[in-house]
Structure 1
């Protein structure tokens, strides 16, 4: 997916996320799925608090790219009580790709089930 996205082919909303390393200061890049929902855009970390999440929290901004198009962004990190609707939409769209990281929880889960797992999945609303 990373190679296709770098070439400008967005597979189901994929982007290349680039963030300055919190220790090295060098740009680090990873493929991500950008969720568009109700006119807003979100980055969900399906693997939890990974290096890109830690780097983004320290840097305060990142870049999203598809091919040669790059956008610098800032964000707001969502509180756990705001996450169920986003997690449900994310799982509905990308369960085939990331469902294994959600321990059997899927888009049909109740709000209570999604709220219970919310602390393990950082979500960033793109400004």
Structure 2
């Protein structure tokens, strides 16, 4: 669990775009949450459906599936519990102790992606240095 650098191909140029993200692990699943809403990295990830997480010289390729708003409350709650101090200002006063109804109200403004390792053709080996 913790900070990573997300690398996603730009939806218009195809050039790699990087941004820091917080990777959340919840019930053996991993999620990327967009605290600032529908940002460029969100639009790029929606368009490509895959990316890489970078930590130092290691990288991990993944595929991403966006959650429906009704499925977001437990993920948003866990995310806020872990990073509220850093990102709470972006959640309209909603916190980890808020009701599911309050979390559902803000869910459309905070995209959430479940990520899974991708080991298909062209994917780098997990942990291998990248050029």
Corresponding position of 1:21:
10
With normalisation by structure 1, the TM-score equals 0.89
CA contact (8 A) 2:49 2:65 kept: no
Cα RMSD (Å): 0.8
Residues 45-101 of structure 1, C-alpha deviation per residue, up to 9 Å, x if partnerless? Answer: 000000000001111100001001100100111000100000000000000100010
Give the TM-score, by structure 2 length. 0.87
Structure 1 residue ranges (4+ consecutive) displaced by more than 6 angstroms after TM superposition? none
> Equivalent of 2:54, from 52, 65, 82?
65
Query: Which structure features the higher share of helix residues?
Result: 1
2:73 is aligned with 1:84: yes
Gaps of 5+ in 2: 117-131
The CA distance in 2 between the partners of 1:66 and 1:23, in whole Å, is 26
Q: How many residues align?
A: 116
